[in-house]
A and B are shown apart, each in its own frame.
Chain A
Amino acid sequence: MSAEIRSKVIGLYKHLQYLGREYPGPNGPQKFRQQIRDAFLKHKDETDPKKIMALVAHGRYVAKEVEALYSLKKYRALKQRYYD
């Protein structure tokens, strides 16, 4: 794996682990972070740069979704408290 791709993969992993710290639900953070770990481990033997980049793109999509989930959760909580 080239250094460039390697840093992208590690960056994505760190970002997802960081996002997981606030995952809702009982044991949400632990569960989410373990799932991320498993997902990365599943593809640890992948060597084709194209496939790796496709997986990274999918990971970034997941990160975007999680961010959207958090902001929606916060928006709903505030809306319920102050506007309903």
Chain B
Amino acid sequence: MSRVLVGVKRVVDYAVKVRVKPDKTGVVTEGVKHSMNPFDEIAVEEAIKLKEKKIASEIIAVSVGPTQSQEVIRTALAMGADRGVHVEVSGKDYDLLQPIHVSKILAKLALDEKADLIIVGKQAIDDDSNQTAQMTAAVLDWPQGTFCNKVEKTDAGLNITREIDGGLETIKTKIPAVLSADLRLNTPRYATLPNIMKAKKKPLKKVTPKDLGVDTTPRIEVVSVEEPPVRQAGALVPDVDALVGKLKEGGHI
């Protein structure tokens, strides 16, 4: 029986069209729908599956971010996590928060809460860093199973099938370990209304990075955030000769 720590991030909803702020300092987040990072949903689902199989005894959902991050912790609690920890980081510190800070926070919490397994989504759909799991494993000096496609418990530890370029790789790890969930690990469940109500009564602890001894002062500076270039308009050519002529002109042949 083990305790599982799940990292959840509040991100701009996947269905929202992201817009860059006119002053190029970031993307518009005010008045935009936010939800739990889809890969973190998969991580939460996997933790709940482990609990249903009696492999995990308790699931702790952790989120680092401003006060609104408690919404995604509540979502995780409604899905089936047991309690939540909200690490409050807001303002400029949060805008420039890097995976290195999050991994230090997760590592410290994992030791404090005596967790045996950390599961996070492989990446967040807002900054696409794909670093938190790897760096958390490094900070703790625990084995890591990234891009999990399948997780099985064995007597010695875990058998993990990983998604790699052009195929799957199976590895064995010991416990404790850090896992990151890939898209095909499972299908996250939809929280039911009664469970959403029950989640409001589940314990949620609030801490600050300072309490955990992690320094989150920004070390980077955002120089500019810009929209990707718009696709150039195409042109119709009357026949093959004109096409070949155009291609030659453009230096493609």
Contact = CB atoms under 8 A, between A and B. Distances in A.
Contacts of A78: 14, 38, 125, 183
| Interface SS of chain A | helix
A74 B40 CA distance: 13
Interface in A17-66: 18-19, 24
Size class of the contact patch on chain B: 10 to 19
Contacts of B187: 71, 75
A79 B15 contact: no
Interface string B170-210: 00000000000001000110101110000000000000000
A18 B38 contact: no
A71 B14 CA distance: 12
Contact of A67 (B14, B125, B190, B193): B190
A5 B190 CA distance: 24
A14 B15 CA distance: 24
Contacts of B194: 11
Given A71-B188, A79-B183, A83-B183, A15 B14 contact: no
13 contacts: A14-B193, A15-B193, A19-B190, A67-B190, A70-B190, A71-B188, A74-B14, A74-B38, A75-B183, A77-B15, A78-B14, A79-B183, A83-B183
Interface of A: 11, 14-15, 18-19, 24, 67, 70-71, 74-75, 77-79, 81-83
